[in-house]
Amino acid sequence: MAEIALKLPDGSLRTLPAGSTGADLAADIGPGLAKAAVIVEVDGEERDLSAPLDDGAEVSIVVADSPQGLHTIRHSTAHVMAQAIQALWPGTQLAIGPPIEHGFYYDVELPGGKTLTTEDLETIEAKMRDIVAADQPFERHELSIEEGLAKFADHIYKREIIERVAEGDLAGEDAGEVGDGIISYYANSDDFLDMCAGPHVPSTGRLGHFKLQKVAGAYWRGDVTRPMLQRVYGTAWATRKQLAQHLAMLVEAEKRDHRRLAAELDLVSWPEELGPGLAVWHPKGANVRRLMEDYSRERHERGGYEFVYSPHIAKSVLWETSGHLDFYADSMYPPMEMDGASYYPKPMNCPFHVMIFRAQQRSYRELPIRMFELGTVYRYELSGAVHGLMRSRGFTVDDAHIFCTREDVQAELASLLEFVLSVLRAFGFDQIQAKLSTRPSEKSVGDDDIWVAATAGLKAALETAELDYVVDEGGGAFYGPKIDVDVTDAIGRAWQLSTIQVDFNLPGRFGLEYVASDGARKQPVMIHRALMGSIERFFGVLIEHYAGAFPAWLAPIQARVLAVASDHEDYADKLVADLKAAGFRADQVAADDPLGKRIRNAKLEKLPYVLVVGDDDVANGTVGVNRRGGEVERDVPVAAFVEQLAAEVADHT
RNA sequence: GCCCGAGUAGCUCAGUCGGCAGAGCAAUUCACUCGUAAUGAAUAGGUCAGGGGUUCAAUUCCCCUCUCGGGCUCCA
């Protein structure tokens, strides 16, 4: 009997009878692997375990508990959900159902325009459990495009996908649905089939650790002019434990929601009278913000930046020259007519900084010029996009613009990235990732040389900083390449915060120039840099990262002094005064409520320290120190506490 | 902007199948003066988001608007 030789990931060779499948290979290696296997990768291509393997192929078994395995489980679970929905509402049209981070969704259109409710999710879940219990096989079938069009004639969305493939237009979102020139579908029972590129787990019994989460509207192909479909989201995992952990993380995320904590901790609010996306900062929130901004200013000053200010509105000519009115008018607040001119609230600070550069003739000796402004901008975000502090209509950008020579770009980018990382780390973010976006394939400005040099400069900066990064080919703006910096928060969520963008466009639009050493007029390169990005959003991320329990250096109140009884209030007063004199933020609550109650309130406010003073302390000049998340320490000399708090503030711990 | 859902006291929520609006916490007052996460009593607090309609009667049913939430789209 003929045999095939297979190369395994460890480099070893294994021979099996011709016609053997991935499942056979896994079983041959061991029963544990056979049980864990979900699909097989053959020469870098994912396939069903039931597919025959090719002689000489490099083969690796993909197990459930791997990124690819999870991907497959989520994809297959999406299919089971579609099957359940179709069983419950016959005539349902299926659109697309891809895996996503942590889960999957499926876009469907129910007969009669029915919309799904949260209650329906339970019904669908129950049906899915039946399908899982039935352990139906995922059977793959392949068709030509013509056969596919015939087979899916009644499936309006699937047919549209096939038609697009036939035209050679294989868009990213369809990639999960169809292969290259071949239409495949999976049938796992007599009455359900779904067009899909696969691969899938061998049978529905391999699934089960899932939960449906929410239902929402989604446009077909993301196009507002196309029908609104029902999108059902779910999460799926390899094990029960993973699912439980994920659900626990979601509960934790809800507890940390900055909108909830902003109200509970009296930080900011959004009075209806102001309009959507416009917040007012209460004293405690404003206190944290001031500390954030002061720290930022101090770092920028040390980093060689010059501080500038600009007005909130400017005449239309500025925005015409910058190009904003051509490209971004939809996101700008409408103009105010004054003295025959139109004044627009600013959506960005850069044109103003350009004006400052242009205010006098610049020499190469002055460059690089680094301008910094905490500039408040207004952008007309769509009403449905506004979201707490994370997406506001008015917000403040920690905006820096650097004007330098082409020769200086690389060195400037390297020190810039270093600066950004250092400040982010000071705010408690130590898991940082980046994305490098390169020249778009369509229209873009600037010659090749400068794109190549700037992109290489960004890349070198990332490598010098030893930062993990991915490359988004063609993802840059038309005016230059960029780096986006993400941080991972305390519960594993990524937030994009900083951005460093090289700009070959604005200097030309505004005719910027400097005099080079040879006397020639040259155009400077401009680098845009936002570090926290929006101060509002950064604050929101900090609230969620710290769950409202700010470290001592940022806490709006660092220590609350509580007198055991009224007799000790004079001593408490003095302690508060001494702490304030030493530069700390402290307050006191009178002994009108029992001590336990006052401690509880301080704990609910998530204050770093509660200081309790009674008879012993008055007699000995000590305090009782109740540290957030720590043990109670009695009889601590005041000087010792001050020293400890000062160290904590200095270290940002 | 689009789809779906929600809006009752400062906060968290109950309630009214159409008939005078309820609790806990918070607030205020009084008493209690206490050594590490809730002392007790009393008082006050609402055009039931806003506007219109149906009705003898609307917080409740219907329509519109506003705001919020989850998504879609967008995020220079």
Mean pLDDT, to the nearest integer, of A428-441? 92
Please tell me the predicted confidence (pLDDT) of residue A495. 94
Which positions 496-515 on chain A have a beta carbon less than 7 angstroms from any atom of strand B? 501
The C-alpha atoms of residue A276 and residue A394 are separated, in whole angstroms, by 10
Per-residue confidence band for A168, with pLDDT thresholds at 50, 70 and 90: low
Q: At what angle do helices A448-464 and A409-426 cross, to 10 degrees?
A: 40
Distance in Å from B41's C1' to A564's CA comes to 23
Cα–Cα distance measured from residue A231 to residue A211, given in angstroms and rounded to the nearest whole number: 15
Decide if A194 contacts A83 (C-beta within 8 A): yes
Nearest to A559 by CA among A648, A652, A428: A648
Give residue A12's pLDDT. Answer: 81
pLDDT at A172: 44
Higher-confidence residue: A139 or A551? A551
**Proximity of residue A30 CB to strand B below 7 A:** no
Q: With a 7 Å cutoff on the CB, does A266 touch strand B?
A: no
| Helices A535-546 and A240-256, axial angle in degrees (round to 10) | 130
By C1' distance from the Cα of A633, the closest nucleotide is: B36
- Reported as a pLDDT band with limits 50, 70 and 90, residue A32 is confident
Q: Which amino acid is at A510?
A: F
pLDDT digits (tens, 9 = 90+) for A471-516: 998 888 888 999 999 999 998 899 999 999 999 999 999 999 999 9
Bigger pLDDT: A457 vs A114:
A457
In A 627-646, which Cβ lie closer than 7 Å to strand B? 632, 634
The first and second tokens of residue A551, run together, are 């470290």
Contact, A617 CB vs strand B, < 7 Å: yes
Is A50 a residue whose pLDDT tops 50? yes
Instruction: Determine the pLDDT at residue A36.
Output: 82
pLDDT of residue A173: 42
Residues 33-72 of A with CB under 7 A from strand B: none
Cβ atoms of A96 and A174 closer than 8 Å: yes
Q: Which of A545, A536, A534 is nearest to A281 (CA)?
A: A536
Contacts by A382-388 with C-beta closer than 8 Å and gap 24+?
A: A383/A276, A386/A276, A386/A277, A388/A258, A388/A259, A388/A262, A388/A270, A388/A540
Rounded mean pLDDT, A330-357:
94
A180 pLDDT tier (thresholds 50, 70, 90)? low
CA atom of A556 to C1′ atom of B28, Å = 27
pLDDT digits (tens, 9 = 90+) for A265-297: 999 999 888 888 999 999 999 999 999 999 999
Q: Strand A336-338 to strand A394-404: parallel, antiparallel, or no bridges (unpaired)?
A: unpaired
Query: Which nucleotides in chain B lie closer than 7 A to a protein CB?
Result: 1-5, 11-12, 31-39, 66-76
* Spatial distance between the Cα atoms of A194 and A192, rounded to a whole number of angstroms: 7
Question: How much is the pLDDT for A169?
Answer: 54
Q: Tell me if A212 sits within 8 A of A136, measured CB to CB.
A: no
User: pLDDT at position A1, please?
Assistant: 57
Residue A428 near residue A653 (C-beta atoms within 8 A): no
The average confidence (pLDDT) of chain A is: 89
Å from A454 (CA) to B56 (C1')?
79
- Most confident segment among A44-48, A179-183, A227-231, A307-311: A307-311
Strand B proximal to A172 Cβ, under 7 A = no
Q: What is the pLDDT of residues A85-125, one digit of tens each?
A: 888 888 888 888 888 888 899 998 888 777 777 777 888 88
Give the closest nucleotide to A603 (alpha carbon vs C1'): B37
Per-range mean pLDDT, top range of A80-94, A326-340, A367-381: A367-381
Query: Which nt has its C1' nearest the CA of A274?
Result: B67
Residue A523 carries which DSSP code? P
Cα atoms found within 13 Å of the Cα of residue A583, Cβ hemisphere only: 10
pLDDT for res A250: 86
Task: Using pLDDT thresholds of 50, 70 and 90, give the confidence band for residue A223.
Answer: confident
Tokens 């926290």, located at residue: A532
Q: What is the C-alpha separation between A41 and A64, in angstroms, rounded?
A: 13
Which domains are assigned to chain A? 3-63 (3.10.20.30), 68-251 (3.30.980.10), 268-310+349-545 (3.30.930.10), 559-650 (3.40.50.800)
Q: HSE of A491 in the Cβ direction (CA atoms, 13 Å)?
A: 20
Q: Which band of pLDDT confidence, cut at 50, 70 and 90, is reported for residue A181?
A: low
Which nucleotide lies closest to A635 by the C1' atom and the CA atom?
B35
pLDDT band for position A165 (cuts 50, 70, 90): confident
Compute φ and ψ for A504, nearest 5 degrees: -100, 5
Q: Is the pLDDT of residue A422 over 50?
A: yes
State the pLDDT confidence band at A320, using cuts at 50, 70 and 90: very high
Percentage of chain A exceeding pLDDT 90? 53
| Percentage, residues of chain A above pLDDT 70 | 97
Asked if A391 CB < 7 A from strand B, the reply is yes
The pLDDT of residue A99:
87
Nucleotide closest to A566 measured between CA and C1': B33
User: Is beta strand A609-613 parallel, antiparallel or unpaired with respect to A586-589?
Assistant: unpaired
Q: Evaluate if residue A565 carries a pLDDT over 80.
A: yes
| Cβ partners under 8 Å of residue A28, min gap 6 | A14, A16, A20
User: Does nucleic acid strand B have an atom less than 7 angstroms from the CB of A593?
Assistant: yes
Query: Where are the extended beta strands (E) located within A128-284?
Result: 139-143, 183-189, 192-195, 209-219, 228-237, 268-269, 280-281
Reported as a pLDDT band with limits 50, 70 and 90, residue A175 is very low
The nucleotide lying nearest A220 (C-alpha to C1') is B72
ipTM comes to 0.92
Q: CB burial class (10 A; 0-12, 13-18, 19+) of residue A378?
A: buried
